[in-house]
């Protein structure tokens, strides 16, 4: 008898090129401008997992530890190098990853949170720079994915401002092997339910692609939270901004449901990533109450033919990302294990690498400690993601047989507490 190996799919992984590497993918009209940006980026820019950005929200000793253990040792090189990425995945027992854009794409100096913490109020990129950034990133990502297409599910960056261009870009992304698109920060006057975007949702549905909403990258608004310059200390700025970004991302569920997008496009698959698992259940309960039991007008049924929670059951999943022990324990009271997908969040500090003995240790401290039975654990670790993202089950089962940890070990609670800080002990968070 051979012990069963866990088939782990990370629904939340990130990949970006080193900034100069985008040069070959930038449209000719912006090459010279991009070359000038690269010079400035070397002086002032930073990816979320690099020391310059981390210093705005972590203690200095935590930044130094991260630098020494992960950056200086080259463990994060897999962010831009697919061969290195596969090495890291094997070391962590991960068979496949959903690859989501990260901050640090062309013409992007810092993430909104990092730039806000450093006092920058707005996105200063021009519409042309944003469009060319998406174009270049998608072609770089397609090349990255092509290194091991059965193990990577790439999500394309799409600029919604030009719908015709967006449709061409989505069709190109599908042909190039990418498996979904990211919802961007939407304009207030052009939300996801605006009729102009119905052709986008129809095409994504027809192609069998996924729509992914990720905290900090997707939002109902392009308005950034006001920088709290009256804050008593710089350390509190990031926590204040983070909650506002999270709320604006979660509200996309309300727009997709009440805006009738899921009614008009019943085959559309939507994933909400890195927002946790606890928020969706009360949001759906509130929407169901509005639909059935409140004094909300009954002619909402001209838009929705089912309860809001029924659209969620049919078409929505959570890329819960780095599970907390509390949300794993409450899985059946929340949205159920079939809707909750693990994310490693490579290469971010808040992911499964940051403290403790890595991904296996993290899973033992959450899934194992919560006493999750094997059939539910399989769903949360990878089975649901296989179906949602259209991954090759047979190919990845073979990979899991080589790199996956023993499932019995994943389901065994650790004997010692190796997570004094981090999301293992995060309470249920509903916003």
Q: What CATH number has the domain bearing residue 259?
A: 3.20.20.140
Residue at 395 is within a domain: yes
d(CA 369, CA 379): 17
What backbone phi and psi angles, to 5 degrees, belong to 182? Answer: -95, 140
Number of domains into which the chain is organized: 1
Residue at 431 is within a domain: no
Q: Within a 10 A sphere around the Cβ of 32, how many other Cβ atoms?
A: 10
Burial of 311 (0-12, 13-18, 19+ CB in 10 A): buried
Q: Within a 10 A sphere around the Cβ of 418, how many other Cβ atoms?
A: 16
Residue ranges making up the domain that contains 308: 9-425
Contact 413, 400 (CB under 8 A): no
Strand partners, 316: 270
Q: Is 138 left (phi over 0), alpha (psi -120 to 50) or beta?
A: alpha
Residue at 370 is within a domain: yes
DSSP 213-261: EETTT-BS-SPPPPP-TT-SSGGGHHHHHHHHHHHHHHHHHHHHHHTTH
Residue at 261 is within a domain: yes
Residue at 36 is within a domain: yes
Q: What is the pLDDT along the chain (431 residues), one digit of tens a residue?
A: 579 999 999 999 999 999 999 999 999 999 999 999 999 999 988 898 998 888 878 899 999 999 999 999 999 999 999 999 999 999 999 999 999 999 989 999 887 766 665 555 567 889 999 999 999 999 999 999 999 999 999 999 999 999 999 999 999 999 999 999 999 999 999 999 999 999 999 999 999 999 999 999 999 998 877 666 678 887 887 788 888 889 999 999 999 999 999 999 999 999 999 999 999 999 999 999 999 999 999 999 999 999 999 999 999 999 999 999 999 999 999 999 999 999 999 999 989 987 778 999 999 999 999 999 999 999 999 999 999 999 999 999 999 999 999 999 999 999 999 998 889 999 998 76
Residue at 42 is within a domain: yes
Q: Within a 10 A sphere around the Cβ of 116, how many other Cβ atoms?
A: 25
Residue at 227 is within a domain: yes
Contact 170, 204 (CB under 8 A): yes
Residue at 3 is within a domain: no
Q: In what order do the strands lie in the sheet with 316-321?
A: 9-14, 96-100, 152-157, 180-182, 210-214, 269-273, 316-321, 340-342
d(CA 10, CA 365): 17
Query: What is the pTM assigned to this prediction?
Result: 0.96
SS3 31: helix
Contact 282, 239 (CB under 8 A): no
């Amino acid at each position: 008898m051979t012990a069963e190996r866990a088939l782990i799919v990370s629904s939340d992984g990130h990949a970006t090129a080193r900034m100069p590497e985008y040069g070959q993918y930038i449209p000719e009209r912006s090459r010279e401008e991009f070359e000038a940006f690269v010079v400035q980026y070397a002086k002032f820019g930073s990816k979320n997992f690099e020391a310059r950005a981390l210093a705005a929200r972590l203690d200095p000793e935590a930044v130094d530890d991260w630098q020494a253990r992960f950056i200086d040792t080259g463990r994060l090189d897999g962010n831009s190098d697919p061969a290195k990425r596969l090495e890291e995945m094997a070391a962590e027992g991960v068979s496949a990853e959903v690859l989501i854009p990260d901050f640090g794409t062309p013409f992007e100096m810092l993430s909104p949170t990092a730039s806000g913490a450093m006092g920058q109020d707005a996105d200063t990129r021009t519409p042309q720079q944003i469009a060319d950034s998406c174009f270049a990133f998608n072609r770089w990502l397609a090349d990255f994915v092509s290194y091991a297409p059965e193990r990577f599910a790439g999500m394309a960056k799409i600029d919604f401002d030009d719908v015709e261009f967006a449709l061409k870009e989505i069709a190109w992304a599908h042909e190039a092997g990418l498996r979904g698109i990211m919802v961007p920060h939407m304009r207030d006057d052009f939300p996801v339910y605006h009729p102009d975007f119905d052709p986008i949702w129809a095409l994504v549905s027809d192609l069998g692609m996924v729509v992914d909403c990720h905290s900090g990258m997707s939002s109902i608004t392009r308005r950034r939270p006001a920088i709290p310059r009256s804050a008593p200390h710089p350390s509190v700025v990031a926590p204040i901004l983070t909650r506002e970004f999270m709320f604006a991302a979660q509200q996309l569920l309300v727009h997709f449901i009440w805006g009738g997008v899921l009614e008009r496009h019943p085959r559309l698959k939507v994933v909400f990533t890195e927002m946790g698992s606890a928020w969706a259940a009360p949001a759906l309960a509130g929407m169901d109450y509005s639909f059935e039991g409140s004094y909300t007008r009954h002619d909402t049924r001209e838009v929705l033919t089912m309860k809001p929670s029924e659209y969620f059951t049919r078409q929505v999943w959570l890329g819960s990302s780095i599970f907390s022990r509390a949300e794993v324990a409450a899985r059946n009271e929340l949205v159920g294990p079939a809707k909750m997908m693990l994310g490693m969040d490579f290469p971010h500090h808040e992911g499964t690498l940051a403290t403790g003995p890595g991904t296996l240790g993290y899973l033992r401290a959450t899934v194992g400690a919560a006493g999750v039975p094997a059939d539910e654990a399989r769903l949360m670790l990878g089975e649901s993601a296989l179906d949602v993202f259209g991954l090759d089950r047979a190919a990845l089962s073979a990979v899991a047989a080589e790199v996956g940890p023993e499932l019995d070990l994943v389901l065994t609670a650790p004997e010692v507490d190796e997570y004094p800080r981090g999301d293992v002990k995060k309470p249920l968070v509903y916003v």
